[in-house]
Amino acid sequence: MKKVSIIIVAAFLSLSAAAQSVALKSEGRDEAYVNTIIGRSQKNISALNLTGEKAQNVCNIVANRYFELNDIYTERDNSIKFAKDSLKGDCKKKAIAQANALCESKLYRSHFAFPAALSIYLTDDEVTAVKDAMTFNVVKVTYDATLDMIPTLTEEEKTQILVWLKEAREFAMDAESSKKKHEWFGKYKGRINNYLSKRGNDLVKEREGWYKRIEERKAKK
């Protein structure tokens, strides 16, 4: 029993120590780039109203994720460029495939490590808020707009739309640029539109009616 207690205390102390300070992994990076990432990270957590060391640690975790994604994609791009410039035939194809596979493997590990690191300091809702901020709040904007456009959506349809938007957010979290992030949401918006059309919704008609209602609201202000 005493050994179990010692192990639990040791684990707690270890976790506490780990939660004390998160270093910014800025070594060897361009100063202007680092400052840009820090500013972006601060903006992404600003709604949480964090203060002191907790705010700094969370900001560093977010910034480090941006650094890590940049490193992963830079390594992939350099490997692919080398393959295209130096190899031929099947060797080139194999090298490119390996570069993409390694990239996906690293993204997979990073994808789960990031929210795990945030969870040391944040609640589940706060972690989600960070994800939303890092993906331009597209989940909420699209979900709210879709419900406003089609007020007759069933609860089942609302749930399915939200599930797909959250799934898109997970892919967007790993994307290499804002353009790629929006492309992921675009794919899922297409899936949502197809789903709603198959369930009897005339999206052209619904959209026209929605635009009309928006203009009417503006006129009343």
Q: How far apart are CA 64 and CA 52, in angstroms?
A: 18
Same domain, 109 and 40: yes
Asked which of 122, 152, 176 is the last residue of a domain, the reply is: 122
Same domain, 96 and 156: no
Q: Is residue 76 a part of any domain in this protein? A: yes
Q: Is residue 15 a part of any domain in this protein? A: no
Model confidence band, residue 203 (pLDDT cutoffs 50, 70, 90):
very high
Q: Which domain holds residue 52?
A: 28-122
Q: Is residue 174 a part of any domain in this protein? A: yes
Q: DSSP string covering 147-185, please?
A: HHH-TT--HHHHHHHHHHHHHHHHHHHT-SSHHHHHHHH
Same domain, 70 and 118: yes
Asked which of 122, 143, 165 is the last residue of a domain, the reply is: 122
Q: What confidence tens digit (pLDDT) does each residue in 132-172 have?
A: 999 999 999 999 999 999 999 999 999 999 999 999 999 99
Same domain, 93 and 170: no
Q: Is residue 7 a part of any domain in this protein? A: no
Q: What confidence tens digit (pLDDT) does each residue in 21-79 have?
A: 999 999 999 999 999 999 999 999 999 999 999 999 999 999 999 999 999 999 999 99
Indicate the Cα dihedral angle 115, 119, 124, 126, nearest 10°. Answer: -90
Same domain, 145 and 116: no
